Amino acid sequence: MLNAKKLIMERRKFFKAVGLVTAAAYVSPKVFGSDQKQVKDSGIEGVPASEFPPLPFSYDALEPYIDARTMEIHYDKHHRAYYTNFMNAIKGTALEGKTLSDIFSTISKQTDAVRNNGGGYYNHLFFWRNLAKGSSGPSNDLSSALTKSFGSFDKFKEIFSNAAKTRFGSGWAWLYLGGDKKLAVASSPNQDNSLMDLSPFKGTPLLGLDVWEHAYYLKYQNKRPDYIEAFWNVVNWDEVNRRYKVAM
């Protein structure tokens, strides 16, 4: 496990590699996707980090909802493997140096290795930022939009939870902002996401939940609904609010 000092240093390297570089490389909104919708960058859709980015919290930060052992394996084995395999898959190709947004916008033309590992790399970066303990809740703006789209906040949670529960096999549940600026919920198989040109639903992801068994099996075994219920205790609403604001 990383000690505090190491974690801070890793974090600095990460912001240097991802935050600043991508902010500079990605000033204007990108147009992509078959429906030519504008999706604004929020930092992690930029050029892949040159080093594997650190986890933004300690392994035990989300206990008891997500246990330390699961976090360690999920981050250090699964996420790291997606990162390494993705970097190897784009090395020496025309994709090297391109933003993740650009790569995802032509993913139907790329290899399965790029699609699965690129998706896995991005989705987990996204997921870690989605998680925190003790965040407040949706902002007034997001809260109004959730009520408008789903009827109420509780109804949104129910719809999102159902999308996560009913995703057959491995995949993700998403809250995303469509090109029409309306909120919607959907689930994707494997490591696909709403930034990919081949996704049946497209838009800016705001909240994602990993429902691969590796995300919960050690603690919850076959009880995926219990893991989904626990997830609501560790949603980083500050990040969801921030992404919503940027995307709007």
| Interface contacts to Mn ion, rule CB under 5 A | 210, 212, 215
Nearer to Mn ion by Cβ, of 206 and 215: the residue is 215
Least CB distance to Mn ion at residue 98 (A): 24
Q: Is the dihedral of CA 14, 16, 20, 22 positive or negative?
A: negative
How far apart (Å, rounded) are the C-alpha atoms in residues 216 and 224?
7
Residue nearest to Mn ion (CB): 210
Residue by residue, DSSP assigns 17-73 as: IIIIHHHHHT-SPEEETTTTEEE---STTSSPPSSPPPPSS-TTTTTTTS-HHHHHH
Find the shortest distance in angstroms from Cβ 123 to Mn ion.
Answer: 7
> In whole angstroms, how close is the CB of 78 to Mn ion at the nearest point?
5
Provide the CB-side half-sphere exposure for 156 (13 A, CA): 21
Which residues are CB-neighbours of 155 under 8 A, at least 6 positions away? Answer: none
Q: Which is nearer to Mn ion, 66 or 87 (CB)?
A: 66
- Closest to Mn ion by CB, 45 or 210: 210
The Cα–Cα gap between 17 and 196 comes to 23
Shortest distance in whole angstroms from residue 204 CB to Mn ion: 21
C-beta closer to Mn ion: residue 201 or 217: 217
Q: How many angstroms separate the Cα of 129 from the Cα of each of 11, 123, 199, 217, 226?
A: 13, 10, 22, 21, 21
Q: Which of 183, 193, 237, 246 is nearest to 39 (CA)?
A: 246
Q: Shortest approach of Mn ion to residue 214 CB, angstroms?
A: 6
Type of residue numbered 1: M
Nearer to Mn ion, 52 or 212 (CB): 212
Q: How far is the CB of 224 from Mn ion (least distance, A)?
A: 13
216 and 227 Cβ atoms separated by less than 8 Å: yes
Q: How far is the CB of 119 from Mn ion (least distance, A)?
A: 11
